[in-house]
A and B are shown apart, each in its own frame.
Chain A
């Protein structure tokens, strides 16, 4: 997957968990919780959706690496393509 594909897949999962987010207005450096308003439960649901889609384990210790869209795309890019 190219970073572009990963981003598209990430945004699909993000807006599925939080459909109040408009993907066209999304800034990749916005913090998912502080700026986009995800709460802890949303975040867990997002991680679980990403885990399913990309087929990679995302341990709790790595959660800070998913703080923004840009960071998450980098993190998911390190995984074997799903």
Chain B
């Protein structure tokens, strides 16, 4: 445990003085007449109907310096236009729409418009290469894609004819390549009124993809009822209050950017700041100052990049509007928490959740003392434990012991399925717990501390990367016989992807081939997923049953104990 002192806070009551619990949270939403529940209604239409249509919903900052403000009424109208455009092209409730674009205003209207029409939204990260895009769209049985002409040409057009279920490709802008529809004119033509689809609370709303250690990525299913948790955890863990100026730096292509970059803040009627550009130190400081951001939700990698520049770089900026800082994605080291205090006069509040939980589960909240380095305590309505799993038996461990972090199922944003993979879904529920795959420890004060992953998944810059997907892309190269991929520690990103490969006969290891393989992987997977380093080996350690032992490669790489080698093939020892 870190030796840093606890950051004490004056005892603060819940700011709004509201009762907690999921039932109470549900009553703070409106719902649809007849018992339906729809995320878009709670995020937009409800506020417009209550007279807040003029409040800015979105302040969009373009790469080129443009600044566009959309009010709640504007965004609700655009969402309605988008929903009408979907219907005009024969798209029905329950069909799946994928998003593949940078942070442009259309992305927000499309997300909310699709939800309004009862269409399931599945966001993709724009930096994905063609293979992750294709794999996810196939598993998710995409019928609509919203993207740009550039992404379409490079990542979708080459294989589109093999995916007949993809009925509609909407291209952001006024022109579209052959076989696609330009979104601009389609929106202009459409009416700005649309009766929200009467979705049932248990109807599928969102499909997020998460990596697996083996096999293809898993499609994590969330329902409209998740909005109860999005809204409530936004209030409890991020301290969102109506009218706040709020900046979530996560991209909507990942679960944080969807749950807390779009849904939770709009449900809490705050004003979103959206920056189209990637991380840029001075730009970020200027945005915090100029837009008078009050609540800021970012990630350790970004914080560490800011720290590299030192406190000097922040001098001269006025951050007095800031009220609450939060971070997610990987453990926030105590240096980062304290750096927040030095530069912004406020500590960062770490919190923990994952695609499967749909929303924040464990957090250092505004009302709590912060233990720098800890992920915090379970939010009201969440029961968490540290468990040991042996076969079908799950035992809770006492405080201070390291085990798997587990949650009692039943919160509104809990995943409802891994799409089409009931056996994988069943595997993560045992003994009345949902097993998170993360190793953690609870201290005697009830704070949880992240220790690592229980499996081979790699956490790089806050994103979970499945080694299997990377290995599969590598072995598609003609020179590669086999590949094993692990995460190695990195000062800025937490972990980075490193690959070990063996070559087929006739290929020689060397710098040139190393570059070629990395280039190949980047083209297929995109930079966020592709290995940053590839090394050549004569053989890879395998179990007697032939499975590559990534765990052993990692232990050897990091100089850790090698653990139980009883299943290792003799000649690899």
A interface list, Cβ under 8 A from B: 15-16, 18-21, 33-34, 37-42, 44-45, 59-61, 63-64
Given contacts A39-B527, A41-B532, A61-B313, contact A19 B127 (CB under 8 A): no
**Which A residue's beta carbon lies closest to that of B517?**
A19
Contact of A41 with B313 at beta-carbon distance under 8 Å, contacts A60-B308, A61-B281 already known: no
CB neighbours (8 Å) of A40 from chain B are 278-279, 301, 305, 461
Q: Which of B127, B282, B523, B532 contacts A61 (CB 8 A)?
A: B282
Question: B492 at the A/B interface (Cβ < 8 Å)?
Answer: yes
How far apart are A17's CB and chain B's nearest CB, in angstroms? Answer: 9
**B residues near A61, Cβ cutoff 8 Å:** 281-282, 309, 313
CB distance from B516 to the nearest CB of A (A): 7
Which B residue sits closest to A59, measured CB to CB? B309
Evaluate contact between B528 and A39: CB separation under 8 angstroms: yes
A37, closest chain B residue (CB): B527
Q: Cβ of B278: which chain A residues have Cβ within 8 Å of it?
A: 33, 39-40
Give Cα A38 to B526, complex, Å.
9
Contact string against A for B residues 101-142, beta-carbon threshold 8 Å, 1 for contact and 0 otherwise:
000000000000000000000000001000000000000000
Q: Which residues of B contact A59 (CB under 8 A)?
A: 309
B87 sits at the interface (CB 8 A): no
Other-chain residue from A19, A39, A41, A63 in contact with B516 (beta carbon distance below 8 A): A19
Q: Is the CB of B127 within 8 A of A63?
A: no
* Residues of the B chain whose Cβ atoms lie less than 8 Å from the Cβ of A15: 515
CB nearest to A64 among chain B residues: B280
Contact A44 B492 (CB under 8 A): yes
Contacts of A16 in B (CB 8 A): 515
Q: Interface 1/0s, chain B 283-311, versus A by CB < 8 A? A: 00000000000000000010001001100
Contact with B523, one of A20, A34, A38, A63 (Cβ below 8 angstroms): A20
How many contacts A-B (CB < 8 Å)? 56
CA distance A41 to B282 in the complex (A): 17
For B496, B519, B520, the residue with the greatest tally of chain A CB atoms inside 10 Å of its CB is B519
Q: Tell me, rounded to whole Å, the shortest Cβ–Cβ distance linking B509 to chain A.
A: 15
Q: Which B positions have Cβ atoms within 8 angstroms of A?
A: 63, 127, 278-282, 301, 305, 308-309, 313, 461, 492-493, 496, 515-516, 518-520, 522-523, 526-528, 532
Question: Pick the contact of A20 from B127, B279, B281, B522 — CB < 8 Å?
Answer: B522
Set of chain B residues within 8 Å of A45, measured between Cβ atoms: 532
Instruction: Report the Cα distance A38→B528, complex, angstroms.
Output: 9
Closest to B496 in A: A41
Nearest B residue to A18 by beta-carbon distance? B522
With A19-B515, A61-B282 given, can you name 12 additional A-B contacts, CB distance below 8 Å? A20-B522, A37-B127, A37-B522, A40-B461, A41-B493, A41-B496, A44-B492, A45-B532, A60-B313, A63-B280, A64-B280, A64-B282
**Shortest CB distance A66–B (Å):** 11
User: What is the CB-to-nearest-CB distance from B334 to chain A, in angstroms, rounded to a whole number?
Assistant: 22
Residue of B nearest to A21 (CB): B519
CA distance A1 to B520 in the complex (A): 32
User: Complex Cα distance A63/B278, Å?
Assistant: 12
Residues from chain B with Cβ under 8 Å of A20 in the complex: 518-520, 522-523
- In whole angstroms, how far apart are the Cα atoms of A12 and B317 in the complex? 37
Select from chain A the residue with minimum beta-carbon distance to B518. Answer: A19
Give the nearest-CB partner of B523 in chain A.
A20
Q: Report the 10 A-B pairs with minimum CB-CB distance, sorted nearest first.
A: A19-B519, A60-B309, A20-B522, A19-B515, A20-B519, A39-B527, A20-B523, A60-B281, A19-B518, A40-B279
Q: Inside 8 A of B301's CB, which chain A residues have their CB?
A: 40
With both chains docked as a complex, state the minimum distance between the C-beta of A28 and any C-beta of chain B, in angstroms: 19
Residue of chain A at shortest CB distance from B521: A20
Known: A20-B522, A20-B523, A61-B281. A39 touches B309 (CB 8 A): no
Task: Determine whether the beta carbon of B523 is less than 8 Å from that of A41.
Answer: no
Cβ of B313: which chain A residues have Cβ within 8 Å of it? Answer: 60-61
**A16 to B281 alpha-carbon distance, docked (Å):** 24
B residues less than 8 Å from A38 (CB atoms): 527
List residues of chain A with CB within 8 A of the CB of B309. 59-61
Q: Which residue of A lies closest to B309 (CB)?
A: A60
